[in-house]
Amino acid sequence: MIIEICATSLISVKNAQEAGAKRIELCEDYLVGGVTPSLEFLKGSIKLSKIPINVLIRPRNGDFLFSSKELDMMFESIEVFKNYDVSGFVIGFLDSNNCLDPNLLKTFRKLTNGFELTFHRAFDYLANQEKSLSMLIENQFDRILCSGSKIDSEKGIKNLNFLNEIANDSITIMPGGGVNIKNFNLFKKSGFKEIHLSAIEREISLDSNYNIIREIIEMSKQ
C-alpha cells in the first residue's frame, strides 16, 4: 500500500521520508485545505526528499469554481514547477453546475504530460461522479483523492468502496480526509491501494508526526 503524506512544512517532508512514506503531496496552509506552495518551499522540499513529490495547484482557498485569471495562475504555476524535480501535480475544479469542463481537463492533461496527475477533493462536490470518473479516466488522470462526499473518509467509506468498484483499476481511488491510526484498517481491509493523510496532532502541531506515520506504515504491512 502506498502511504501519501500531505506535507505543509519542511519538518513534515523530513518526517514523511524518514518514517517510510512512499509519496508526498506538497502544499501550504493546511487549515484552509491547502493551497499552492511557494517556489522556495518546493526547492527546500526537493533538497530534503528522496521520495516522489506531487504538488498541489490551488491558487486560493474556498470553492473550486475558478476565474479565468485564477486558471491562468494555475497554468503558470505548473509551467514553473515542471522545471524542478517533481513527480506530479494535484488539481481540481468545478464549473457553475458542479460538473467537469471537458476542455479544461484536456488542457491540464496536456500541460502536465509526462507527470502524474491527481484530481483532488473537489471530486466530492461533483454532481455526477460516475460520469466524472469516466471523464478522468478518459483524460488519463492517475488517481482521485476524495472522502466519499462526506466530511471525512470514514463516514464516506460506502461511497469510496462504490467508486473503487466502478473504477476497476482504471484509475486509483485514494481515500483522504480524517484518515488516522484508529480507522486505518477500515481502508486497508476494503482493499484500497493508496491512502492519503496528514498525520498531524492538531492540538500539538501542524507538522506531520513521525511516530504516527511510522505506525501507519507498520499497520499497512500487517
Q: CA-CA distance, 55 to 86, in Å (whole number)?
A: 7
Superfamily of segment(s) 2-221: Copper homeostasis (CutC) domain (3.20.20.380)
* Per-residue pLDDT tens digits of the chain, which is 222 residues long: 999 999 999 999 999 999 999 999 999 999 898 999 999 999 999 999 999 999 999 999 999 999 999 999 999 999 999 999 999 999 999 999 999 999 999 999 999 999 999 999 999 999 999 999 999 999 999 999 999 999 999 999 999 999 999 999 999 999 999 999 999 999 999 999 999 999 999 889 999 999 999 999 999 998
Measured between alpha carbons, how far is residue 110 from residues 53, 94, 106, 199, 209 in Å?
Answer: 20, 18, 6, 33, 36
145: region left, alpha or beta (phi > 0 left; psi from -120 to 50 alpha): beta
Which three cell numbers mark 155?
A: 463516514
Q: Determine the pLDDT at residue 222.
A: 87
Distance, CA of 5 to CA of 3 (rounded, Å): 7
* Entry pTM: 0.96
Report how far residue 214's alpha carbon sits from residue 49's, in angstroms, rounded to the nearest whole number.
Answer: 16
Q: Would you list the domain boundaries of the chain?
A: 2-221
- Written as one letter, the residue type at 200 is I
